[in-house]
Amino acid sequence: MATYVIGDIQGCYYSFLKLLKKINFTPRKDNLWLVGDLINRGNGSLQVLRWCYKHKSSVKAILGNHDLHALAAKYNIIPLDNDDTLDKLFKAKDSEKLFDWLRSLPLAHYEKKHLMVHAGVLPNWNLKDILQLSREVSKSLLGKKYITLLKNMYGNEPSQWSNTLTKNHRLRVVINTLTRLRALKKNGAIDFSYKGELKTMPKNLIPWFEHPKRRTKKTPIIFGHWSALGLVVKDNIFAIDTGCVWGRSLTAIELESKHIFSVKTDKKDI
Ligand SMILES: [Mn+2]
């Protein structure tokens, strides 16, 4: 029995199957954690979600920005973008069931002393804060007003956390942080523009995980979202988005051993 954490699949179904084969994944015996962005941009979003739904008792998945975007488009809050690849999933006869499952996923998962988020966390949040804030978003997503929440999540402001934010702003900062964060400005504000590599990062920015006062330093954190980082394994930080949908690779890490498994992107996926 093992626990594997897989990076951003983004609808790359054949790459996902290859990786499952490589780790010899056995449902009911092994556990699979998925770091979010299960769907969109790759060709196989429908197949990926059907696989996850079918194996949901073995899967612990969290929401990424692309999953939330898909939910908003599904519920007609925003139109699809030209580079979205969600048509088949929207038109499938089991679409409602799959989206209900997707909407039920949390934004953070903590188990076996490891925290999984899609993008990042803020320096002044401790583990308890993160799990509490994730639960607040889930409560809204699962409640009657989930359309209001999905409408309200759009926007980059406020870019700083404060305990005195209004509820709408509070939930927006939580969603933006957990699903979109890469870099912070020196004053602690979230930077929403930089998506590149560390070595070309502007001097006024710092990766969220390198903030000197981050309160979660002692908690191993596994995340995806930042494909330009590539694989990073150091100081309790496990960045595992290796850019499958960009034609690079899909990566899994075995939680207990920290062994890394990787497959090249299958050409059928992109
Ligand atoms: Mn993402």
pLDDT for residue 28 is more than 90: no
d(CA 225, CA 179): 8
59 C-alpha to center of ligand 1: Å? 19
Task: For residue 193, give the DSSP letter.
Answer: S
Q: What is the pLDDT of residues 88-104, one digit of tens each?
A: 999 999 999 999 999 99
239 C-alpha to center of ligand 1: Å? 12
230 C-alpha to center of ligand 1: Å? 13
Name the amino acid, one letter, at 269.
D
65 C-alpha to center of ligand 1: Å? 5
**pLDDT score at 84:** 94
- Adjacency order of strands within the sheet including 260-264: 59-61, 31-34, 3-6, 249-254, 260-264
Q: What is the pLDDT of residues 36-83, one digit of tens each?
A: 999 999 999 999 999 999 999 999 999 999 999 999 999 999 999 999
179 C-alpha to center of ligand 1: Å? 6
66 C-alpha to center of ligand 1: Å? 6
96 C-alpha to center of ligand 1: Å? 23
Q: Phi first, then psi: what are they for 228, rounded to 5°?
A: -70, -20
**pLDDT score at 190:** 98
Mean pLDDT, the chain, rounded, equals 97
Average of pLDDT values for 112-131?
98
Q: Give the residue from 146, 145, 114 showing the smallest Cα distance to 130.
A: 114
81 C-alpha to center of ligand 1: Å? 15
Average of pLDDT values for 123-146?
97
Ion ligand 1 residues within 5 Å by Cβ: 37, 64-65, 225
Let me know if domain 3-269 sits in CATH 3.40.190.10: no
Map out the domains of the chain as residue ranges.
Answer: 3-269
133 C-alpha to center of ligand 1: Å? 19
163 C-alpha to center of ligand 1: Å? 26
Q: Quick one: 146 exposed, middle or buried, by C-beta within 10 A (0-12, 13-18, 19+)? A: middle
Q: How many CB atoms lie within 10 A of CB 53?
A: 15
d(CA 4, CA 114): 12
Average of pLDDT values for 243-265?
98
260 Cβ contact partners less than 8 Å away, ≥ 6 residues apart: 231, 233, 251, 252, 253, 254
31 C-alpha to center of ligand 1: Å? 22
Q: pTM (2 decimals)?
A: 0.98
pLDDT for residue 217 is more than 90: yes
d(CA 66, CA 62): 11
pLDDT for residue 143 is more than 90: yes
Task: For residue 172, give the DSSP letter.
Answer: H
224 C-alpha to center of ligand 1: Å? 7
pLDDT for residue 179 is more than 90: yes
d(CA 215, CA 264): 35
Average of pLDDT values for 5-18?
98
